[in-house]
């Protein structure tokens, strides 16, 4: 901070200047030394009074002890610089005052610096949480992450292998999950749910909207698995980070250049993949379109969910969201005429296994390890769902897509990795 300190010196005419007087001319930039001879004549002692000059450091120390104490806090790291900008009148009359304006460089006050240090200390845990030390993470968390990716990767092959309508599979998957969450939510989160339905109308509407987008995600992605290859459908559905980037940009958020680079790279991979499927059949291309739309619906679901979970617990939110999804999918099945019963025992077992692998094993474990491994590593690992699902489909179902599909899938995954890494730096 720069202080402008003004020192006013009143100069009287000297009738008989002493021999040692060095009175400056009207254009001189120093303080008038006639003050010296005036002080000497007013005192009987022969010792001259101290001369006040603008170049002496003691001038500021004597005039303001507070400035000296403030600047002493930073004497080890900086030197105080003083520059004089005098405002001198061209002529001086008796009794006229002259003003010397001197800017003083002053160190920041200690309370402000302490507040800055406190702010830095407060923000340090957030940085540590975003970039965890993987050397200190237990090995069991890496095992849980591997199980989470495996559970998600089994989702697409299980849906393709289940002999049941895809809308019915989506309904029973969410219905079973809601039934398992009901005792926990109604017993432990009863007060929170009551407050959500009575006073938190806006939050409740956001949770219901998230459930609607989740229902749209299932209603579009599951049919795409039977219209195109599992590798193509899974790769296009995992473009959720790309849609999230676009939506946030429309809302005013400006992602870094790295994110846009990854987005363009992934989009090139999408064009490559859809071109390959278009060459195969229009049905494959329609499946690609449904998978892309499912990725967009998943992005809306995640964005709305992140807003709701700022004030609502995970259990209460997932209960409301899954219940909404199940109700909407039930209505869709009734309108479309999809059968909800009459499946074989193997089909029911596969539906239950799908709920356990994808709904609980996949999502629950990823939420468990994200606290220790960090969101960047977990988000990047989830992208392994695409090659994992393609490998399981090839071994279990014998589904081998054309060779041209694999380079396109690799380009999409490379772009998604760049997007995830770029968002971490943001």
Does pTM surpass 0.85?
no
Q: Classify each residue of 335-374 as buried b or exposed e, where b means 16 or more C-beta atoms within 10 Å of its C-beta.
A: eeebeeeebeeebeebbeebbbbbbebbbebbeebbebbb
User: Quick one: tokens of 102?
Assistant: 């001197």
Q: Phi, psi (5° rounding) for residue 99? A: -115, 130
Q: Please determine, for residue 87, whether its predicted confidence score (pLDDT) is greater than 60.
A: no
pLDDT at site 33: 46
pLDDT at site 245: 86
Non-local (6+) Cβ contacts of 110 within 8 A are 73
Q: Please determine, for residue 50, whether its predicted confidence score (pLDDT) is greater than 80.
A: no
Closest CA to 228 of 100, 401, 26: 401
∠ CA(378), CA(382), CA(386), 5° rounding? Answer: 160
User: Quick one: tokens of 369?
Assistant: 């390890």
Each residue of 386-425: pLDDT tens digit? 888 998 998 999 988 888 888 998 999 898 888 877 766 6
pLDDT at site 330: 97
- 216 or 279: whose pLDDT is higher? 216
Q: Please determine, for residue 156, whether its predicted confidence score (pLDDT) is greater than 90.
A: yes
pLDDT at site 224: 95
User: Quick one: tokens of 319?
Assistant: 């209960």
pLDDT at site 271: 87
Each residue of 300-325: pLDDT tens digit? 998 898 888 888 888 899 899 999 99
pLDDT at site 121: 41
Judge contact between 341 and 224, C-beta under 8 A: no
pLDDT at site 426: 57
Each residue of 166-183: pLDDT tens digit? 999 999 999 999 999 999
Q: Label residue 218 exposed, middle or buried (CB < 10 Å: 0-12, 13-18, 19+).
A: buried
Q: In what order do the strands lie in the sheet with 97-105?
A: 2-10, 97-105, 85-87
**Residue-by-residue DSSP string for 261-314:** HHHHHHHHHHHHHHHHHHHH-HHHHHHHHHHHHHHHHHHHHHHHHHHHTTTS-H
Each residue of 348-395: pLDDT tens digit? 999 999 998 887 787 777 767 766 776 667 777 888 888 889 989 989
Greatest mean pLDDT among 68-72, 265-269, 275-279 lies in 265-269
**Dihedral of the CA atoms 319, 320, 322, 328 (nearest 10)?**
150
Q: Label residue 151 exposed, middle or buried (CB < 10 Å: 0-12, 13-18, 19+).
A: buried
pLDDT band at 28 (very low <50, low <70, confident <90, very high): very low
């Amino acid at each position: 901070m720069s202080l402008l300190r003004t020192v006013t010196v009143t100069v009287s005419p000297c009738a008989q200047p002493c021999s040692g007087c060095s009175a400056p001319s009207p254009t001189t930039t120093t303080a008038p030394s006639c003050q010296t001879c005036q002080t000497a004549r007013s005192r009987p002692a022969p010792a001259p009074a101290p001369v006040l000059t603008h170049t002496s450091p003691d001038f500021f120390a004597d005039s303001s002890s507070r400035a000296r104490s403030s600047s002493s806090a930073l004497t080890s790291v900086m030197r105080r610089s003083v520059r004089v900008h005098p405002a001198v009148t061209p002529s001086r009359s008796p009794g006229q005052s002259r003003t010397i304006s001197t800017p003083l460089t002053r160190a920041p006050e200690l309370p402000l610096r302490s507040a800055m240090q406190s702010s830095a200390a407060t923000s340090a845990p957030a940085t540590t949480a975003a970039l965890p030390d993987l050397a200190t993470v237990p090995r069991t968390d890496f095992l849980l992450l591997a199980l989470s990716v495996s559970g998600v990767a089994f989702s697409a092959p299980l849906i393709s292998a289940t002999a049941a309508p895809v809308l019915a599979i989506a309904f029973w998957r969410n219905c079973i999950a809601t039934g398992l969450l009901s005792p926990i939510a109604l017993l432990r989160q009863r007060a929170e749910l009551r407050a959500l339905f009575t006073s938190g109308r806006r939050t409740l509407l956001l949770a219901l909207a998230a459930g609607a987008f989740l229902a749209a995600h299932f209603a579009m992605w599951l049919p795409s698995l039977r219209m195109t290859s599992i590798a193509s459908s899974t790769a296009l559905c995992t473009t959720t980070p790309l849609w999230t980037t676009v939506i946030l940009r429309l809302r005013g958020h400006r992602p870094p250049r790295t994110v846009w680079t990854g987005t363009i790279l992934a989009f090139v991979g999408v064009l490559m993949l859809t071109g390959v499927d278009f060459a195969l059949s229009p049905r494959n291309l329609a499946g690609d379109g449904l998978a892309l739309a499912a990725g967009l619906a998943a992005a809306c679901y995640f964005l709305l969910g992140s807003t709701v979970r700022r004030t609502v617990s995970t259990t209460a939110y997932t209960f409301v969201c899954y219940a909404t999804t199940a109700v909407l999918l039930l209505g869709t099945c009734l309108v479309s005429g999809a059968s909800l019963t009459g499946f074989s025992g193997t089909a029911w077992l596969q539906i239950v296994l799908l709920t356990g692998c994808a709904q609980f094993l996949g999502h629950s474990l990823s939420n468990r390890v994200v606290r220790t491994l960090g969101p960047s590593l977990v988000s990047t690992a989830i992208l392994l769902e695409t090659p994992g699902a393609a490998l399981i489909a090839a071994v279990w179902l014998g589904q081998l897509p054309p060779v041209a599909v694999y380079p396109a899938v690799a380009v999409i995954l490379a772009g998604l990795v760049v997007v995830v890494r770029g968002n971490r730096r943001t």
